[in-house]
Structure 1
Amino acid sequence: MQNRGFLRVREIFAMILIIVGIRLSDSTPSLLAQNTQNALWIVPVISFICIFPSFLLMLYLLKKYKDKNLVQLLEAILGKGLGKAIGFIIFLFAFLSMTLDSRNYVEQIKVLYYPEAPTSLIFVILLGIVFFGAKRGIEVIGYSTFIALPFIKISAFFIVFLVLGDLLIQRIFPIFGSGLSSLLSEGIGKASIFAELFFILIAYVSTRETEIFHKASILAAIVALFEIVVFYFVYITVFDYNSVVKIAFPFHDITQFISFGAFFSNIETIFMVFWIIAAYLKFLILLYLTTWIFGVVFNIENFEPLLLPFGFLTATVAALPFNTVINELQFRDTLLSIMTPFFIILPILLWLVALLRGGLRK
């Protein structure tokens, strides 16, 4: 395994900010706006409040059971058999999340930029580049993400700055959208939009000191939430909620509002470059983490040779949904609804078992 404990705060921070914060640029806003309407921007806050305490509890358990990653922690608390079974479930969640998200991004690239290109060809290019990046190891992945992060984030918030004149604040009213009950239901039920916070716990022992991981992950989670809320707020105030529901890719539609005069055209292409870099980095990280989880579950120490088969399998499974509507409104919506109670309840159960077994006295 290419892991020598070289990851630092900045690299953990960058990786989490990419895999979580990129939710601002996919079709998640359209999915969440179906039931919450103009209260879309509040949904991530409710989701974060629901799932973040469980994430903190998991960090606490990892700190108590030193020198263990996510799957090893499950085995230490629940026993080898049950621990590996739950670890395999987490692997399935990570794999399915990566698969459905990759279909989402491939559809965006195809519809917006290369409508004549075959979907299979875009998949091959995307996952081919992702594979060659992932095989370099977690240290190179972390460093590459850290180097690219400033350019990605500057371009994203440059978009916000340039569309400020198009914001209409009145569009956030009524503040609870379709109703407080619908808002709470959607916010709680879709809390797993932050599930990547749990997937990256497989890399918990990839730092020299575990305190580094704690600081970086907590800070990155809070910053990612802020970014998502800002962009969702922009979507609602630039478009009305009826438009957000119908727009599959609001991030790219926002870039259409940007203009530097008649001389400069197709400005959105500049932002597309940074968006594609962020997408590559996200799936590069997710492919490595997913394969890593699988390797620990099945005691495969050198899991890097599995990156290529998993990349191919991801493309194959992602191509199964007939279209992006089925992918989003059926499969992805269902997956989010299933993962939410799992990741909220699991750390609590682990804590209770550890407490009863005396593991927390260590």
Structure 2
Amino acid sequence: MELNKKPLRIRELVVMIFMLIGLKGGDTTPALFAENAQNAIWIVPLVSFLFLLGPFLVLMFLLKKYEKYNLVELVFHLIGKKAGTLLALLLFTFGFISMFSDMRNAMEEINYLYYPNSPTLLLYVIFLGICLLIAHKGLETIGSLTWALNPIIVITIIAVVVIDLKDAVFLRIFPIFGDGVGTLLREGISKSGAFLEIFLITIAYQAFHQAKYFRTGMYLGSSLSGILIISFYIIYSATFDYNTIDNVAFLYQESTEVVSLGHFFTNISTLFMVGWMFSNFLRFTIFLYLLCWIFGAIFEIKRFEGLLLPLGFIAMIISLIPPSFAVNEMVFRENTLQLSTPIFFLFPFLLWIASYWKDRKT
């Protein structure tokens, strides 16, 4: 596996995590959580983050202990090549499924909200083509571009928050626990696989001049992403009442429709399209690159950039199989999250046990 010639910096990792995790506040993930949580939607990601905190810290501990290994190499080192290949392929498979199901939802959103008269396949090809052009430039270029465009995206987010706060009614977040604590715990735990990217990005552990830069970027990026997601979900709860929040597919876009800037600017959602589109291009570019890197590491393909086009094309074809957004989101994606959650929760502990066993034998 060839490393980047120039080391990445903390700020680039922070913004890449921000795109992968933090901007789930603006995709279709809130609709998935709101199905049962309703006005307590903001507590669900909090439960998910707390549930994943343990395995995340364990994985970071192991990466620090074995600094010369990235995610796949660490798996191979601790549990062997054969078992490690099976585990790494399992992680890759669930990551790949998560990417193409999320990509299908993004295409549906673009098609439905902005280009209703355009064929979905055409939009998909254009979108994927742009992602591939950026991804072929390498992780350094992706990180630099993400950092350069981040101010536009942040300004867009701040503008949405400020505008939504005008019509927000924070009494709508009550009762705090919505339909009950049990429901929130069940939803938060079973769907915590929605944030699996935080584990996959550790494949880039060696792309930094010093390992501590990576760890600092991971902790900072994860914390900021969690704060953003919970803040956005609180605003959704305050903007929509409990009777409608679970019936809105695109909560972020809908939150820009319910308010206006005076009598002359009633449809302001198009003003936020640029930042939202930039964030989606960057998010799936990063996601696709990381998955190709993982696949290349599993099968020892040094120039894994050649995998970008075939894996991207396969992702597009498979994601078009579900007949509608509802089937893709509420059936396929939800079931996949429930399957992937225990895998991503348990595998760091498996590696930890293997590490402990190795230490005892030496």
Normalising by the smaller structure, the TM-score range is over 0.9
> 1:115, CA displacement in angstroms?
0.8
Q: Does 1:344 align with 2:345?
A: yes
| Mapped partners of 2:344, 2:66: distance in 1 | 19
- Give the stretch that moved more between structures: 165-174 or 322-331: 165-174
Q: Supply the distance in 2 between the matched residues of 1:267 and 1:189 (Cα, whole angstroms).
A: 36
More displaced stretch, 276-285 vs 142-151: 142-151
SS at the partner of 2:264? coil
Q: Aligned in 2, Cα 1:360/1:65: closer, same or farther, shift over 3 Å? A: farther
Q: Offset at 1:39?
A: 0.9
Q: Deviations 1:129-174 (Å, cap 9, x if unpaired)?
A: 0000000001000111111112201211221111212111111111
Distance, in Å, in 2 between the alignment partners of 1:360 and 1:148 is: 50
2:35 aligns with 34
In the alignment, is the contact (CA less than 8 A) between 1:54 and 1:348 conserved in 2? yes
Q: Is 1:267–2:268 an aligned residue pair? A: yes
Which residue of structure 1 lines up, in the alignment, with residue 256 of structure 2?
255
Aligned positions of 1:172-191 closer than 5 A: 172-191=173-192
Residue 346 of structure 1, CA deviation: 0.9
Shift of 1:30: 1.3
Distance in 2, Cα, partners of 1:359 & 1:54: 22
Q: Which residue of 1 aligns with 2:153?
A: 152
How much has 1:22 moved relative to structure 2? Answer: 1.2
Once the two structures are TM-superposed, the CA of residue 56 in structure 1 deviates from its matched residue by 1.4
Choose 151-160 or 99-108, whichever is displaced more: 151-160
Please show how residues 226-245 of structure 1 align to structure 2 within 5 Å.
226-245=227-246
Q: Give the conservation status (yes or no) of the 8 Å contact 1:2–1:137.
A: no
Cα-to-partner distance string for 1:195-216 (whole Å, 9 max, x where unaligned):
1101101111110011001000
* AA at the equivalent of 1:254: S
Q: Is the 8 A contact 2:3 2:206 kept in 1?
A: no
* Alignment correspondent of 2:10: 9
The aligned amino acid for 1:25 is G
1:284 to partner: Cα distance: 0.4
5+ long unaligned stretches in structure 1: none
- The alignment status of 1:140 with 2:141, answered yes or no, reads yes
Deviation of residue 104 (structure 1)?
Answer: 0.4
SS at 1:67's partner residue?
Answer: coil
Shift of 1:359: 7.8
Given that 2:36 and 2:246 are in contact with CA atoms closer than 8 Å, whether structure 1 keeps it comes out as: no
Residue aligned with 2:152, SS:
helix
CA shift digits 1:179-238 (9 cap, x unpaired): 111111111111122211011011111100110010001111111011001111111111
| Equivalent residue number for residue 225 of structure 2 | 224
Same amino acid, percent of matched pairs: 41
1:329 aligns with 2:304: no
Deviation at 1:297, TM superposition (A): 0.5
Length, aligned pairs only: 361
Q: C-alpha displacement at 1:66, in angstroms?
A: 1.8
Question: Taking structure 1 as the reference length, what is the TM-score of the superposition?
Answer: 0.97
Segments ≥4 residues shifted beyond 4 Å: none
2:142 alignment partner AA: I
Aligned to 1:287: 288
Farther-moved stretch of structure 1 (276-285 vs 62-71)? 62-71
Q: In structure 2, list runs of 5 or more residues that go unmatched.
A: none
Q: Report SS of the residue matched to 1:260.
A: coil
2:101, 2:319 within 8 Å by CA — same for their partners in 1? yes
8 Å Cα contact 2:91-2:344 kept in structure 1: no
Q: Deviations over 1:35-72 (max 9, x none)?
A: 11211111111100010221111011011112111000
- After TM superposition, the structure 1 = structure 2 runs for residues 88-127 of structure 1, keeping only pairs within 5 Å, are 88-127=89-128
Give the C-alpha shift of residue 316 in structure 1.
Answer: 0.4
What does residue 72 of structure 1 align with? 73
Offset, 1:258: 3.8
Judged with a 3 Å threshold, the aligned counterparts in structure 2 of structure 1 residues 213 and 263 are, in CA distance, closer, same or farther, namely same
Letter in 2 for 1:354: S
Once residues 325 and 343 of structure 2 are traced to their aligned partners in structure 1, the CA distance between those partners, rounded to angstroms, is 26
Contact 2:45 2:229 in 1 (8 A): yes
CA-to-partner distance for each residue in 1:297-320, whole Å, 9 max, x for gaps? Answer: 111011111111111111101101
CA contact (8 A) 1:70 1:202 kept: yes
TM-score by length of 2: 0.97
Worse-matched range after superposition: 286-295 or 142-151: 142-151
- Amino acid of the structure 1 residue aligned with 2:346: I
User: Matched residues in 1 for 2:66 and 2:86: separation?
Assistant: 19
SS at match of 1:219: helix
Which is worse superposed, 2-11 or 63-72? 2-11
Amino acid paired to 2:258: F
